[in-house]
Amino acid sequence: MTVIASKARKAAAALLAAAVMASAVAPAAQARSVRNAAFIAGGVAGGLLLGALAAGSADAYERGVSYERDCWLEKRKRYDAYGDAYFVKVRVCD
């Protein structure tokens, strides 16, 4: 999956969640006074903000672990402080 498709999917999920939350609180906002509706709107805005932060943290996690690139292990020669050679397995990605 490409990065653009991943971001589009996250944006669509966030919009769907916002629509569900808005439809759940709309009848309550109509039944109450304007002051209570302002508190409900603040709660919806806070929920959207927390959802955006959660999506951002999930995106940061995915950037650390990528399965889209070709990676493999290679043996690399290293030298210690005394000049002795040893081999180390190193992860190499395209």
Write out pLDDT tens, residues 31-50: 556 666 677 777 777 777 77
36's CB contacts (< 8 A; 6+ apart) are: 29
Dist. CA 85–CA 75, nearest whole Å: 12
Amino acid identity for residue 62 in this structure: E
Tens of pLDDT along 45-90? 777 777 766 666 555 555 555 556 788 999 999 999 999 999 999 9
24, pLDDT greater than 60:
yes
Backbone angles phi and psi of 49, in degrees to 5: -65, -45
pLDDT of the residue at 82: 95
Beta bridge partners of 78: 86
Per-position b or e across 81-94, b if 16+ CB within 10 A of its CB: eeeeeeeeeeeeee
The better pLDDT of the pair 80, 8 is held by 80
- pLDDT bin (cut points 50, 70, 90) of residue 13 is confident
74's CB contacts (< 8 A; 6+ apart) are: 89, 90, 92
Backbone angles phi and psi of 78, in degrees to 5: -125, 160
